[in-house]
Chains A and B, each alone.
Chain A
């Protein structure tokens, strides 16, 4: 028996590939149903109450899904991770347009080619396992560790900002992040900080 969560991700990956190969609107609508509420939630995590901004992000990311689906390769990337990178890039570009970043460089320039999983089958299997470990591990993470990860990944805060908001010393935030990454087996104990 396969893990139901893994099966679900595979289903979503298959839908993206269907959109890529056949411009399949049915498959695209299913992707919309699944991802639009999560993307909206992602945007609201950073700017609570900013519903128009959230709607804008949903539209932008899903239009990107349509435009880039043919470049997606399920053998190399998990559907959720692919969508996450699109959403993060849309957020960065939104902030840049609104003056947080000044130069004429967009998020796609920064990340192009860096996140593609390489085609080595061993590495692909490793990454798949890593993704499942993260999913499993997040559920078991102590609240205080999950909270700092959410500040960074969902609310888009720096560690300094997270420390201020949580009224904690920066060192405490850093050590919580470190413990969390070790539990999720992202950081091997051997790696230098």
Chain B
């Protein structure tokens, strides 16, 4: 049972396509788990489609239709095969969201995992143009993530296992948004199994001054570490 969903504003941004990619990836992964949000997404799509339909039609240049007809006749347009949306392709870890299969083509164990602390490892998947990092995080049973503040927005989606913090317990499919208003946040993985999460972290912890300039790269790398 999923208890933590993206709010309607975020789902609307997803429907309209106005979200940063890093956040859209996490929302997409949540939707894959959540029939309730998929239904709301379809309704939000109706708004977009009716808004387009009610636009004043723009004049279309004469040659545009001829160009398109030529494209489809020349075979430049290739009829597409359906994208498989059920099950997982052979070799895929079933916990990897569909939207990330290009970035995680095989087993997640084959990713380049970086050890952040005795109980936490992370693997970078991609970064958005605004610098937001999208990563997979694995926390050993009972593992603690360093207490940290947020300087930007942090999105976390649980893929496997569970973790908890001061505000609740989060299980597979749950999505959590945290920002600078949420102070001192200290997640702990549940005792009974490893916890795997997908995260998008907007901006790393910032230090200022000469010390900060020296240590920033280190701290940047170990955002989740002890």
Contacts and interface: CB of A to CB of B under 8 A. Distances in A.
A37 B79 contact: no
What is the predominant secondary structure among interface residues of chain B facing chain A? helix
Sort chain A's interface into a size bin: 35 or more
B42 A115 contact: yes
Contact of A150 (B32, B51, B57, B68): B51
A59 B72 CA distance: 10
Interface in A66-120: 66-68, 70-71, 78, 80-81, 83-85, 87-89, 91-92, 96, 99-105, 107-117
Contacts of B168: none
A101 to B, nearest CB: 4
B68 A38 contact: no
B38 interface: yes
A84 B7 contact: no
Interface residues of B, number: 70
Given A41-B55, A84-B49, 6 more contacts: A25-B73, A36-B60, A41-B56, A62-B68, A63-B77, A103-B21
Given A42-B52, A63-B72, A104-B126, A89 B46 contact: no
Of all A-B residue pairs in the complex, the 10 with the closest CB atoms, nearest first, are A113-B85, A37-B57, A103-B126, A84-B49, A40-B58, A80-B49, A41-B55, A101-B21, A41-B58, A81-B49
Contact of B17 (A88, A130, A177): A88
What is the predominant secondary structure among interface residues of chain A facing chain B? helix
B218 interface: no
Q: By CB atoms of chain B within 10 A, which of A92, A103, A123 has the most? A: A103
B55 A134 contact: no
A115 B45 contact: yes
Interface of B: 7-9, 12-13, 15-21, 24-25, 28, 31-32, 38-61, 64-65, 67-69, 71-73, 76-80, 82-83, 85-86, 98-103, 125-129, 134
Given A149-B47, A157-B18, A58 B52 contact: no
Contact of B46 (A45, A134, A152): A134
A136 B141 CA distance: 53
26 contacts: A25-B72, A29-B69, A37-B60, A38-B57, A39-B52, A40-B57, A40-B60, A51-B61, A67-B77, A67-B78, A67-B79, A68-B80, A87-B52, A88-B16, A101-B21, A102-B126, A104-B102, A105-B102, A110-B25, A112-B83, A113-B86, A114-B41, A131-B50, A186-B40, A186-B46, A193-B8
Nearest to A111: B28
A54 B49 CA distance: 17
A78 B16 CA distance: 17
Nearest to B125: A103
Contacts of B134: 103
B16 A114 contact: no
A189 interface: no
A114 B47 contact: no
A119 B9 CA distance: 27
B12 A177 contact: yes
A135 B50 contact: yes
